[in-house]
Amino acid sequence: MEATEARPLLILGARSFAREVADLVSDVPSLRLAGFVENTDRPLCSEPIDGLPVHWVDDIAGMAATHWCVCAFGSTRRIAFIRQAAAMGFRFASVIHPSARVSQRSIVADGSIVSSGVQIATQTRIGRHALVNRGALIGHDVVTGECISVGPGANIGGGCRIGSGCFIGMGATVIERLGIGAGAVVAAGAVVHRDVPPPPLVAGVPAVVVRHGVDGL
């Protein structure tokens, strides 16, 4: 059987997290990193990253027919950059590290990043442009919205509903069958034992609301 040619990929972002995603891409045979894209600080385009060009966002429209994108912004507010690329006609690839275990009965939507050591159990649906960081655990029958961020080592129990734009911090635990409202932030190390309405910041063990109206991170 003839090998499938690797898809050329542009990473939306040119800061430290973009470098981390680039390292993940280097382990994914179906993708070939072609460069980075910056949209707020044009001087960043003057220096390559690991020998690859950093393009200014207004200059990449001509690459839409041949290249895919993924957004390497840790903030859940990355949707603005994603919409810029989508308006140009870019398609979005998911970066799923080979050491991650994603059930064959689960779905990871386009544009998502699933880092090393992640476990995603059966019958789970991860929305578009999600970031699931290293070693995170996501249980069975979980459904998430778009542009969620799950920090390293976080543990989301089975049957949870996670709204779009949520941020689940490093090492946080969400007990099974709970709902986290759109835009909510769960602080690092928090233990969520009841539903979280949109969009507060919750923290502590057990987690309690410490601020209202945060709308993502």
**Catalytic annotation, residues:** 140
DSSP 85: H
Which residue type, as a one-letter code, is found at position 199?
P
As beta bridge partners, residue 172 has: none
Q: Which residue has the tokens 């009965």?
A: 105
- Taking the CA atoms of 13, 32, 95 and 151 in sequence, report the sign of the dihedral they define: negative
From residue 175, how far is each of 3, 9, 147, 210 by CA, in Å? Answer: 43, 36, 21, 19
Q: Which of 50, 46, 45 is nearest to 33 (CA)?
A: 50
Helix (H, G, I), strand (E, B) or coil at 81: helix
- The H or E element containing residue 23 is helix 16-25
What's the alpha-carbon Rg for the chain, to the nearest Å? 17
